[in-house]
Structure 1
Amino acid sequence: MEELKEGWRRVKLGEIADIGSSKRIFMADYRESGVPFFRGKEIIQKSKGNNITTELYITEEKYNEIKNKFEVPQKGDILLTSVGTIGVPYLVNNNEPFYFKDGNVTWIKKYRDGVYNKYIYQWIKSPLGQNQINQVTIGSTQKALTIDALKKLEINLPPLETQEKIASILSALDDKIELNNEMNKTLEEMAQTLFKRWFIDFDFPNENGEPYRSSGGKMVDSELGEIPEGWKIGILEEIVDNFDAKRKPLSKKERDTKEKKYPYYGAAGIIDYVDNYLFNGEYILLGEDGTVITNEGTPILNFINEKFWVSNHAHVIKAKEKFNNDFVHYLLRNTNVSHIVTGAVQPKINQKNLNGLKILIPKIKEISEFGILVSNFTKMLRNNNSEINSLTQIKDTLLPKLMSGEIEV
C-alpha cells in the first residue's frame, strides 16, 4: 500500500459519489423523434466530442415522467460505458435533455462534499483508472463492468483545492489536444472537398482553368462508369509499393521493457511507444486485420511522416515514384473496400486483395497538381499530430505523479 501525502485519502469510488444506472426503457417506448436516447456507442461518440446521429428517441412525456419521479442526467455527471467497449467516460457538459440505456452505461452523480467531478473524470480516463477498470471487468465474449465492481475501485483523493488544480492542469492539456483535433478536422475537410471535386465530380481545372466536366470535357465509358478521357481503371499495385515484409510485431511484454520514444502502430493507430524504429519517412498504413473498415466501408488509414515501428496488423504502403502519397491517401479514403474484406470472426484485408483493388487512375498531371495543392494541408496536419502526440505523452507522464502527490501543485 503506497504511503499518501498529508491530507490525502485512499477512498472507494462508491464512498464519494452515487453510482447506478437509468430506469429501464423498453423497446415499445422507442420513437423516431423526441428526446435523444443514448446507448454505449453514442456515449463513446460524445466522449470524443463528435457530432452524433441519434438513432433512438423517447417521447418528451416519457422523459418528463422519469425526471419528475426519479432523476435524469445533469451537467457534471459522468456516464461510463459498461458493456462491450468498457470504461469510456463522458462528462455531461450541459443540461440538454437526454436519457440512456440501463446496463450499457453506468451513471456517476451526487458527489460528496470535498469531491471535484472533473478530478474523478480525469482519474477514470487515466491509465490508473483504466487499469483498475480492466482488472474488475468480467466476461470473455461480452465484457461487462458491474456497478458493484465500480463502487469498489480505489482512488487517491487529495484536498479539494488540490483536486481542482490537478484537474485544471490535465484539462488544459486536453483542451489543447482537442483544439488541434478540431483544426485537423477542418484541414481534412478542405482536402477532402478538393479531392471529391477533382476526382469524383471530375471538375478539376482544364487547360483554361475551367471545371472539366461542367465545361463539357469529354467523358468516356469504363467499368466504373463515365470517366474523363485519358484516365483509366487500374489496380492499386500499379500506383503503390508495399513494405509489409519489413514489419515486425512486438508483444506487450517486449514493449513494456522498452523506452517510450517512437510510436508503435497497430491496425487503427498508435497503441504504444518503443525505443527503436523500422521505418523513417512518409508512409500510409492501412488496417490489415481486426479493425479494418469504417462504418462507410472505407479502409482504416494512418498517413504519417516520422520514425515509427509497426506491427503486422497494418499494411505499409507508399506511392510509386511518379505518383504521390497525398493522392493515394485521399483516393483510399474515398474507396469502399468492404468487398475485399474476408473473415467473419476476424475481418481481414489480405495483401493479394489489397494489391488487386480496382481504382481510378487519372493523368499524372492532375495527380501532381492535386498533391501540390494539398501538401500544405498535410504539413499542418502532421505538425498538429506531432504536437498531439507530445502533449499526450506529457499528460501520461504527469498524471500518475500528480495523482500520487509526487508533484506539488
Structure 2
Amino acid sequence: MKWQRIVFSQLYLEPSRNGIYKSQENHGTGIKIINMGELFGYDFIADQPMKRISMTDSEIDRFCLQNGDLLFGRRSLVESGAGKCSLIDNLIEKTTFESSIIRVRLDSNLALPKFYYYWFKSLRGSGAIRAIVTGTNVKGIKGSDLKNITVDYPSIITQQKIADILSKYDDLIENNRRRIELLERSARLLYKEWFVRLRFPGHEHTPIIDGIPEGWEKGQVSDFYKTASGGTPSRKNPDFFTGDINWVKTQELNNSFIFKTDEKITEEAIKNSSAKIFPAHTVLVAMYGATIGQTAILANSATTNQACCGLLPDCHIANYIHCFLFFRENKQILANLSLGAAQNNISQEIIRNFPMLLPSKKVMDIFWEFTNRIFEQIKILEQQNQKLKQARDILLPKLMNGEIEV
C-alpha cells in the first residue's frame, strides 16, 4: 500500500523550538540539560546522567521536555551529527535542552513520535535531513527547513505496528546497555578503590615507601605503555575508502569496545598515509576537539585517524583494562591540559608524560582476574547488541518502504 506524503509541520502540535542558552554562572545545579553529547550518545533519552542548569519558572514552561518529543541536532562539527534525531522516552525528572538542539513536539492524534524517530533513521528520512544540511566548517539544519520536509504518513495503526516491531529490538538493546553500564561501573569503582584510594587487597600490611606502596612504581604513561597515532588517507582518492579495514574517528570512541566503524579503508590507503593497523585490545584516547579524553577499546584490529592516540602495554605488568580505566578516571584532567585556539587538543607527548602509578605485579594480577571477567561479559553483551542492531537495520527499510506489510 502506498503511503500518503505530507509536510512535516502538518504533524506538529506546536511550532518547533531551539533550546535554551544559559551563561556559565547558571551551570552546576538545577534542571538536567541535554547537550550535544547526550544527543549523539543516546537514541532514546530518559534518565541518563547530565549536567544541570538553573532556570526560571517561565523558562521551565517554555523549554522543558515531554515524553515523545523529538530532538534534532541543529549544529555539528561533523555532517553526520547535523540533524541527528533522538527521542525523549520515559523521563524521570524535569529536563531541558541546549541551544544547539531543535525540539519537535508532534500531535499525538496524528502521529506517533516513535514511528517518526524510526522514519528519520531510515534511508528516506536521513536523506531528507541531508538535503537541508548547510555550512562548511560547522554543519547544521534550521527549524524553518526541517518543518518543510516531506514525510511519509501512514495511518496511526500502521505507525504503531511498525514502531512496536522495531521497539522489540531496541528494548533488548537497551536492556543490554543497562547491564553493560552496571558492569562498567563495578570495574571503575574497583579501579578507584584499589588505585586511587589505595585500598587494594593487603594494603593494611603494605609499607609505604617514598609516598607509594612497596613494590609499586611511580612514573609516567610512557614508562608502561607505548603510544602511536593514526592518519587520514587522502579524500581526493575515493577508492581509499572502499576497503574492509576498520578506520576509527574520534567521534566513534564510545568508552567501550569498538567492533566496526562508519568508514573502512584499503591496504593501499594505509600505504599512502600515516594510518597504521592497531591490534585488538589497543586502547584509544581522543586528542582533538570536543571529544578530548574519550576512550575506547578495539575489539578487533583496526586503523584510526590522527586524532586518536593508540596505547599498548610496554611492560610485563601493564594490561589494556588497567590502561582503559586509568584514562577513564583521568579524562577531565587530560581535557584541562588541552591547548589550541580554534580547536583544543592534546598531543601524544602530553599523554606520554602524564603521571601514572603502576601497582605491583601481585596486585595487578588479582585486578586482572577480577576485571577480565567483567570485560569479557561486556564484550559479549556489546556483540549481542551489534547483532540486534544489524537485524533491526535490515528490517527498518523494508518496513518503511512497504516491502514487509504490517
TM range (shorter): 0.7 to 0.9
Q: How does 1:1-400 map to 2 (within 5 A)?
A: 6-18=1-13, 20-21=15-16, 36=31, 38=33, 40-41=35-36, 44=39, 47-49=44-46, 50-59=48-57, 62=58, 74-84=66-76, 86-87=82-83, 88-93=85-90, 104-111=101-108, 113=110, 115-126=111-122, 128-140=124-136, 143-206=139-202, 212=203, 215=204, 217-221=206-210, 226-244=211-229, 249=233, 251=235, 253-254=238-239, 257-258=242-243, 263-269=246-252, 271-274=261-264, 278-293=277-292, 299-322=293-316, 323-335=318-330, 336-338=333-335, 340-400=337-397
d(CA) in 1 for partners of 2:328, 2:18: 41
SS at match of 2:302: strand
SS at match of 1:133: helix
1:236: Cα distance to partner?
1.3
Residues 197 and 77 of structure 1: is their aligned pair in 2 closer, same or farther, counting only changes over 3 Å?
closer
1:330: Cα distance to partner?
1.3
CA RMSD of aligned residues (A): 3.7
d(CA) in 1 for partners of 2:343, 2:29: 37
1:181: Cα distance to partner?
1.4
d(CA) in 1 for partners of 2:92, 2:189: 35
| Aligned residue identity for 1:117 | P
d(CA) in 1 for partners of 2:103, 2:66: 14
| Aligned residue identity for 1:341 | S
d(CA) in 2 for partners of 1:311, 1:360: 29
Does the aligned pair in 2 maintain the 1:219–1:228 contact within 8 Å? yes
Q: Structure 2: state its 5+ residue gaps.
A: 253-259, 268-276
1:216: Cα distance to partner?
6.1
| Aligned residue identity for 2:143 | I
d(CA) in 2 for partners of 1:407, 1:273: 29
Does the aligned pair in 2 maintain the 1:33–1:57 contact within 8 Å? no
| Aligned residue identity for 1:55 | I
SS at match of 2:401: coil
Residues 43 and 108 of structure 1: is their aligned pair in 2 closer, same or farther, counting only changes over 3 Å?
farther
Equivalent pairs: percent with the same residue? 23
d(CA) in 1 for partners of 2:143, 2:339: 38
d(CA) in 2 for partners of 1:174, 1:281: 28
Q: Deviations over 1:185-242 (max 9, x none)?
A: 1111111111111111111111xxxxx1xx3643244xxxx32233232121221233
Alignment length (residue pairs): 377
Does the aligned pair in 2 maintain the 1:40–1:81 contact within 8 Å? no
Residues 74 and 39 of structure 1: is their aligned pair in 2 closer, same or farther, counting only changes over 3 Å?
closer
Residues 27 and 354 of structure 1: is their aligned pair in 2 closer, same or farther, counting only changes over 3 Å?
closer
Residues 399 and 248 of structure 1: is their aligned pair in 2 closer, same or farther, counting only changes over 3 Å?
same
1:100: Cα distance to partner?
5.7
Does the aligned pair in 1 maintain the 2:18–2:101 contact within 8 Å? no
Does the aligned pair in 2 maintain the 1:34–1:57 contact within 8 Å? no
d(CA) in 1 for partners of 2:89, 2:175: 19
d(CA) in 2 for partners of 1:395, 1:230: 51
d(CA) in 2 for partners of 1:241, 1:364: 19
Q: Deviations over 1:278-317 (max 9, x none)?
A: 4453221121333442xxxxx2111233243433331222
TM-score normalized by the length of structure 2 = 0.78
Does the aligned pair in 1 maintain the 2:225–2:312 contact within 8 Å? yes
d(CA) in 1 for partners of 2:240, 2:405: 30
Q: Deviations over 1:56-84 (max 9, x none)?
A: 2223xx479x58xxx97544333434345
1:126: Cα distance to partner?
4.2
| Aligned residue identity for 1:348 | N
